A and B are shown apart, each in its own frame.
Chain A
Amino acid sequence: MSMRVFVCLGNVPDTTTKVKFTENNSVFDNTGVQWIINPWDELALTRAMELKEDTGSSVEKVTVITVGTKSAEPTIRKALAIGADDAIRIDSEPTDAYDVAAKLAGVLKDEDIGFVMCGIESCDYNGFAVGGMLSEFLNLPSVSSVSGIEVKGEKVSVSRTIDGGKEIISIDTPFVAIVQKGISIEPRIPAMRGIMMARKKPLNVVEVSDSEVLTSHKSFELPQPKPPCKMVDSENVKELFDLLQNEAKVI
């Protein structure tokens, strides 16, 4: 038996983007924005590749799947360059997490899943939602806050972060792993050979029927600028202590 792992990808603005909004602050302004694989999804993909390369694991195929328009394709190609075998793009503008998860489930329900990996959050709308929603739509078990996955043959164990430590969980496939930092440490960088090969790998574009959207973003606002930092002389550390005690009243 060989296992196929699906990694869900989000196409998100680079984490160093200075965010701006247009249309009376109701829409994210994507002018000049550099798009990247959502960092947690990239760590998931990195771990999936390691498992595929590990001869002791039955993971044999890694597929990336995303909901997005054609504009998401450079990000998908990057995932293929990192090493994914093939990709599925559900051709639709992503709206809210419920809609995205429903569409992913619409495709994944017909696939033979070993397990699905989703990043715990996305660095754009920070919903912490797609992985959990997807598992419920698919009626599959899920483990969240996953910081490690081991596959020995067909046996899968995951490490789940709990308050003050971790649990090692054994779980039967198929399931959904909602992963965080620790699943891998540094994301893989595509090598030249990977970039060349990525051009030839299958990127299947599929349509699914519309699903429901339960939330609507009304308006965005940038945080108020912070008052300037009060500087304390390095020869007068006592002043810092006094400020914390008497002004901020936090110690």
Chain B
Amino acid sequence: MAVLVFTENWDGKFKKLSFELISYAQKVAEKLNMPVVALSIGEVAEDELKKLGDYGAEKVLSVTNEYLKTLDNQMYTKVISEVAQKENAKVILLSHNNTGKALAPRLSVKLKAALGSGLIDLPSVVDPFTVNKKVFTGKAFVTVELNSEIKVLTLSQNSFKLISSDNKVTIEEYLTDIQESDTKTKVASTDKETGKLLLTDAEIVVSGGRGMKSPDNWGPIEELAELLGAATACSRPVSDEGWRPHEEHTGQTGKIIAPNLYIAAGISGAIQHIAGVSSAKFLVAINTDPDAPIFEAADYGIVGDVHKILPELISIVKESKL
């Protein structure tokens, strides 16, 4: 029996989220008295694979089939469920990111396993297996029992602390017989910025709303983000107006994020926006309207003009770095 973790690599490197998953799995595995097995799909060097052991993986299975270079949901599901059966996995853990959201529901059906998605904490009880999760986009929490022998879980990013381990880790290759003809997802072209900090990975996010008045006023948002090592985001009206790309839209129908710090500049704080950022550990609001609902969700607030406050904040951050 095992707790199986589906890890993802980016050009051969794991990100913090993979280590968060392994750390979480280590705690679940402890309660169930099972080892943590990690599955890695793609070309990852042995040294990098070994890093999974630092957070509690006892075994890493590495799959390097060349037809799995593109995410094909059906074939990935096939490989993960094969491995789950081979290892007799009782819990399968994925990230609650684009890939995890694509695969977890398929795995749930394939393995007839109850799905607990977007978790932010460990199961409160393991028998019956009980998890807590946000519902109504953060407006409430629910306690859910997963009533099946196998469980599939997805863990929200940046919601679980890394826990190191001095486990001995073994690395094995896992061969699959997936052929080119099995994969139905053909990538015709890719358009991506590499090296850019992703909104979902960022620990600090600087976000602008309609109060910024014009797309030409985004300079201070970008400068502050750059100085703090933060990603930039925006509210829905801003992306709907085309001031900023849709990838930056944070809120109910956009991205749901959980950074350590979220700075909302000129955002009034509609309920749908708050839904997307209420998991931030600290929220700063800067707005001219003292009655803006954003202040109800914020930890720190300044009533004032973003066009004056942001440049001041930028110079203070700059001075502190001298």
- Seen from chain A, the residues whose Cβ lies within 8 Å of a Cβ on chain B are 13, 15-19, 21, 39-40, 43, 97-98, 101, 120, 123-133, 135-137, 140-145, 147, 157, 161-172, 175, 178, 180-182, 185-186, 212, 214-223, 226-227, 229-234, 237-238, 240-241, 243-245, 248, 250-251
Knowing A135-B106, A217-B142 are in contact, say whether A147-B246 is a contact too (CB < 8 A). yes
Contact segment of B37-45, B48-56, B146-154, B166-174: B146-154
- The answer to whether B300 touches A171 (Cβ under 8 A) is no
Give the residues in chain B near A165, CB-CB below 8 Å: 190-193
Give CA–CA (A218, B204) in the complex, Å: 35
> Quick one: which of B96, B98, B228, B299 contacts A229, CB cutoff 8 A?
B299
Interface members, chain B 286-302 (any A CB < 8 Å): 295-302
- CB distance A166 to B109 under 8 Å? no
Which of chain A's residues have a CB closer than 8 A to the CB of B148?
Answer: 214
Name the one of B190, B246, B281 contacting A181, with C-beta atoms under 8 angstroms: B246
Encode B221-235 as 1/0 by CB contact (under 8 A) with A: 000000010000000
Complex contacts, A251 vs chain B, CB 8 Å: 204, 228, 261, 317
Prevailing SS type, chain A contact patch: mixed
Q: When the two chains form their complex, are residues A234 and B304 in contact, meaning their CB atoms are under 8 A apart?
A: yes
| B140 and A157 form a contact (CB under 8 A) | no
Q: Contact at B137–A15, with CB atoms within 8 Å?
A: yes
* Closest CB in chain A relative to B193 CB, distance in Å: 5
Asked whether A220 lies within 8 Å of B73 as measured between CB atoms, the reply is no
B contact patch SS: mixed
B147 CB contacts on chain A under 8 angstroms: 214-216
- For residue A135, give the distance in angstroms from its CB to the closest CB of chain B: 6
A222 to B139 CA separation, bound complex (whole angstroms): 7
Nearest-neighbor residue (CB-CB) of B303 within chain A: A234
- Inter-chain contacts of A186 with B (CB < 8 A): 240
Residues of B within 8 A of A126 (CB): 117-118, 133-137
Given contacts A166-B192, A232-B301, contact A143 B185 (CB under 8 A): yes
